[in-house]
Amino acid sequence: MEIDLGANAFGIDFHPSKKLVAAGLIDGQLHLYRYDTESSLVRERKVRAHKESCRAVRFIDDGQRIVTASADCSILATDVETGASVLRLENAHEDAVNTLITVTETTIASGDDKGCVKIWDTRQRSCSHEFNVHEDYISDMTFASDTMKLVATSGDGTLSVCNLRTSKVQAQSEFSEDELLSVVIMKNGRKAICGTQNGILMLYSWGFFKDCSDRFVDLSPNSVDVLLKLDEDRLITGCDNGIISLVGILPNRIIQPIGSHEFPIEDLALSHDNKFLGSTAHDSMLKLWDLEEIIEGSNGNASGAAEDSDSDNDGMDLDNDPKPSKGSKRKTKSKANPVDNRAFFADM
């Protein structure tokens, strides 16, 4: 299934229970499409959400609302049924908002082009935490719910771990000499995987974030702009050559190609039943891939026989004086955790 959106889409997300997919476009529009198994995508709604590009899209409140983040520094909540604006944070950040994820049932996180990460209390509709550890744009974020730690990657070439319980930056990696563009947590919380501009996947052991414990180079030299976790052993990569691949982690290997666009991949998302993979790229196309059909007959889950030998110690290596070098700015979007955010903008 595919459809021409008429403009490049920076962010996509699937409804948590219905056959709906949302896309945020470079012109500030929010599009909502219904999909089915008969190879068709039908637009349900088009909303002028932002004055500038819509960079991130997330369904929340059991799919009743969509939250979008924009280059115009605003964050907006839109009603799915009516398309009406529920609440707009006009100056959520001082600079363009680049990433947005749900954190808990009552909090979301946003990251901007200056390296600032903000945590929003959706009950109070106010910023509860602010972290300014990075020197360049926040490229991606993910959340470890069991430890209440937010992991962020940046164009400055570093990864940071922010503790939401203590409101402190608990760790920061050394400068990687390359932009970190994407991040997921895998192996039951023991590994953080980062995609880089030079195409190398960097594997960090949880609790030891100074430097990576392993590198996977088979995707190089194509930058890994997007990472999407499929399960604890497999992830999906989107690269600037337009190729989407299924990759196994520990043992590290490219399992198989999934699909492709003619231009660099912007975002990837999974449907609520994991049947469809959605992808957007610089070609203005929204494509839905039948993931079950594509990976049928593949090797399945990555073998657990080759376990990594790194310590599973939960301790953090604290970086008391991080001095990352500044990297060039690259607008790469994020993926969010599938967390139900029931309280977001409630009772409006």
Give the Cα separation of 242 and 39 in Å (integer).
22
Query: What pLDDT does 154 receive?
Result: 97
The answer to whether 235 and 306 are in contact (CB under 8 A) is: no
Query: What pLDDT does 298 receive?
Result: 56
Give the Cα separation of 224 and 3 in Å (integer).
24
Give the DSSP per-residue string, 300-324.
-SPPSSS---S---------SS--P
The answer to whether 159 and 204 are in contact (CB under 8 A) is: yes
pLDDT at 333 over 70: no
CA distances from 281 to 25, 72, 196, 328 (A): 11, 21, 18, 21
Q: What is the pLDDT of residues 233-284, one digit of tens each?
A: 999 999 999 999 999 999 999 999 999 999 999 999 999 999 999 999 999 9
Task: State pTM to two decimals.
Answer: 0.86
Bridge partners, residue 20, by sequence: 34
At residue 5, the 3 state secondary structure works out as coil
- Using alpha carbons only, how large is the chain's radius of gyration in Å? 19
Domains detected in the chain: 1-131 (2.130.10.10), 132-259 (2.130.10.10)
The answer to whether 35 and 44 are in contact (CB under 8 A) is: no
Query: What pLDDT does 297 receive?
Result: 54
Average pLDDT over residues 31-45: 88
Token reading at 227: 């990472």
Among 91-95, 159-163, 188-192, 321-325, the minimum mean pLDDT is found in: 321-325
* Amino acid identity at 340: D
Q: SS3 for 19-52, per residue?
A: CEEEEEECCCEEEEEEECCCCCEEEEEEEECCCC
Q: Which residues contact 236 (CB under 8 A, 6 or more apart)?
A: 227, 228, 229, 230, 244, 245, 246, 247, 258, 268, 277
Query: What pLDDT does 293 receive?
Result: 87
Query: What pLDDT does 18 receive?
Result: 95
The mean pLDDT of the chain is 86
Query: What pLDDT does 7 receive?
Result: 95
Among 101-115, 185-199, 205-219, the minimum mean pLDDT is found in: 101-115
Give the Cα separation of 209 and 170 in Å (integer).
10
Average pLDDT over residues 100-124: 90
Q: What is the pLDDT of residues 282-320, one digit of tens each?
A: 999 999 999 988 887 554 444 443 444 444 444 444 444
Maximal CA-CA distance, the chain: 56
Among 87, 155, 146, which Cα is nearest to 116's?
155
The pLDDT confidence band at residue 336, using thresholds 50, 70 and 90, is: very low
CA distances from 8 to 66, 185, 230, 286, 317 (A): 19, 28, 25, 9, 40
Give the Cα separation of 158 and 210 in Å (integer).
9
Token reading at 77: 């909540």
Query: What pLDDT does 37 receive?
Result: 67
Among 108, 110, 111, which Cα is nearest to 124's?
108
In the DSSP assignment, the letter for residue 208 is: B
Give the position of tokens 């997007």.
226
At residue 162, the 3 state secondary structure works out as strand
Counting every residue written for the chain, the total comes to: 348
Give the position of tokens 């992991």.
151
